Amino acid sequence: MKTQLRKGTLEMCVLALLSRQDSYVYEIVGRLAQSMEIGEGTIYPLMRRLQADEWVSTYLTESNSGPARKYYTLTASGRSTLASMRGEWDSFVAEINDVLAQSGAQTGENEHEA
Amino acid sequence: MKRDEFLERLAHALAGLPQSEREEILADYRAYFDDALADGRDEEAVCRALGEPTRLARELCAERKLKQWEAHKTPGNLGQVLSALAGLSVLNLLLAFPYLVVMTVLTSLWLGALMLLLAGVLCTGAWLSHTLTGWPAFNHMMFNDSMTGPMMIAGNTNITIDGDGENRGHVSIRTDASTGSVQIAVRDDNGSFVLQNASDGSIARMMSSDAHGRVVLGHMRPETPFGILVVGLVLMLIGGLGSFFGWKVIVAVWRGTGQWLRWQWRLLHGESRP
C-alpha cells in the first residue's frame, strides 16, 4: 500500500526539497532517505525527467575538492507545478482522513482498500 | 561490482544516445560515486543501491525516445518508443499489434479516400479538357496488357491485327474507320471472347463463351461527357470528405497514442519505486 501511495509523490518530494534550497543529486538522495524509503537508483532518472519537463534546471559550481558540482534549481514552472501538486495532495489527504474518521466512528474497524 | 565496471557497463548500454548526452550522464554518475565515497561508503554498496546499469540505461533511453516521439510523431519514432518501452517490460508488445492493425486500416482507408479524390479530379479534368479541346475523346477503347502500359485504339483508323498462339489460340483486332467501330476477338479450343464497340464509344457487344455456355452483353450506354463530369464531382466530394475526416481521425489517434504512452510511462514510475 505504501508503495502504491508513493505513486507520483516522489516527484513532489524532490520539488519540495529544491524549493527550500538548490541541491545536487547525492544530497537530494540523502535528504529524502532521512524521512522515507527510496530506491537510490531511481532519483537520477527522475532528475532527468524533471529537467526534460523543465521543472528544474542545472548550473555548475566550483567545489573545494574535485570537479565542478552540478546543482539543480527549481524553475518558475517547477514552482507552480509544486504548488498545484501540493494543493491536490492536501485535498486528497483531507478526503481520505474524512472517510477514515467516519467509518472508524461507525464500525470501529478500518477497511483496507488500496 | 565496482565503480569502474558499473560505469563501463552503463557507457556500453548507453551507446544508442548521442555522445554529448552519454558523456553528461556518465559524468553525473562519476560525480555521484565521488560524493558517495567521500561520504565513507564502499563502491560495491553504492553500485547495489544504484541498481543494474543496463536497466538504468534502458530507462534513460526510453525517456529520451518518448520525448522524441512527442516532438516528432513519425512512425519511426513510434517504433523506437514501443521497443524501448517493451524493453522495460512496461508494455506488452502483443498489445501493440492490434493497435498497429487499426492504424494500418485507418491509413489504408485514408489513402483510398485520397485515391477517390484523385480519380474525381482526373474525371473532372478529363471532362474539362474534352469540353475545351475535344481531347480526350470518349469513343476510344482502352485496354492494357499490363506489360507495356496503357494502350488505346482509336476508332477512326483502319487497323487489322491477327495473332496466333498455342492450342490454336487466335487474337484479332479490327477497326473500321468508316463506322468507327473496334472489334477484339480472342478464341482458342476452350472458348472465345469478343468485344465490339460502336462509333459512339458504347459497347455494342461483349460475348464470352466456352463449352458450358455463353454470355452476351450488348448496347451498353456510353459514358457521356456530362456523366463523366457528374462522376468526377461525386468522386471528388466523397474523396474530399473521406480524406479530410480520415486525416482528422488519424491525427486524433496519433495524439492519443502519445498520451497513452506517456501514461504508461508514468504508471511505470509510480509502481516501480521500491
Percent of chain B with pLDDT over 70: 83
Question: Model confidence over A21-37: pLDDT tens digits?
Answer: 999 999 999 999 888 88
User: What is the average pLDDT value for chain B, to the nearest integer?
Assistant: 82
Q: Cβ A7–B67 below 8 Å, yes or no? A: no
Same domain, residue pair B28 and B94? no
Same domain, residue pair B93 and B187? no
Residue B163 maps to a domain: no
pLDDT confidence bin for B47, thresholds 50/70/90: very high
What DSSP character marks residue A23? B
pLDDT of residue B271 exceeding 50, the answer is no
Total structural domains within chain B: 3
Of residues A46 and B140, the one with the higher pLDDT is: A46
Across the interface, of A37, A38, A45, the residue whose CB is closest to B63 is A45
Q: Which of B233, B234, B141 is nearest to B180 (CA)?
A: B141
Q: Is B245 on the interface with A (CB under 8 A)?
A: no
Residue B162 maps to a domain: no
Total structural domains within chain A: 1
What is the CB neighbour count within 10 angstroms for residue B184? 19
Mean per-residue pLDDT for B171-180?
81
- Its domain, for residue A41, covers 2-113
pLDDT confidence bin for B118, thresholds 50/70/90: very high
| Distance in angstroms (rounded) separating the CA atoms of residues B30 and B6 | 10
Q: Please check whether residue B169 is in contact with residue B191, taking contact to mean a CB–CB distance below 8 angstroms.
A: no
Residue B22 maps to a domain: yes
Same domain, residue pair B7 and B66? yes
Q: Is B31 on the interface with A (CB under 8 A)?
A: yes
Contacts with A25 from chain B: Cβ below 8 Å: 28, 31-32, 35
User: What is the average pLDDT value for chain A, to the nearest integer?
Assistant: 85
CA distance B266 to chain A (A): 8
| Distance in angstroms (rounded) separating the CA atoms of residues A10 and A2 | 12
Residue B148 maps to a domain: yes
Question: Model confidence over B207-241: pLDDT tens digits?
Answer: 888 888 888 887 666 667 788 889 899 999 999 99
- Its domain, for residue B211, covers 142-154+169-222
Residue B150 maps to a domain: yes
pLDDT confidence bin for B269, thresholds 50/70/90: low
**What is the C-alpha end-to-end distance of chain A, expressed in Å?**
6
Same domain, residue pair B237 and B111? yes
Across the interface, of B46, B51, B270, the residue whose CB is closest to A8 is B270
Return the residue of A nearest to B60 by Cα.
A45
CATH code of residue A38: 1.10.10.10
pTM confidence score: 0.56
Residue B173 maps to a domain: yes
CA distance B5 to chain A (A): 16
**What is the C-alpha end-to-end distance of chain B, expressed in Å?**
21
Same domain, residue pair B127 and B232? yes
**Residues 6+ away with beta carbon under 8 Å from B249:** B106
User: Could you check whether the bond before residue B136 is cis, i.e. omega within 30 degrees of 0?
Assistant: yes
pLDDT confidence bin for B272, thresholds 50/70/90: very low
Mean per-residue pLDDT for B9-26?
91
Q: Please provide the DSSP assignment of B213-274 as one string.
A: EEEEEEEEPPPPHHHHHHHHHHHHHHHHHHHHHHHHHHHHHHHHHHHHHHHHHHHHHHHS--
Same domain, residue pair B34 and B61? yes
Residue pointed to by grid coordinates 535528504: A31
Contacts with B36 from chain A: Cβ below 8 Å: 26
pLDDT of residue A91 exceeding 60, the answer is yes
pLDDT confidence bin for B273, thresholds 50/70/90: very low
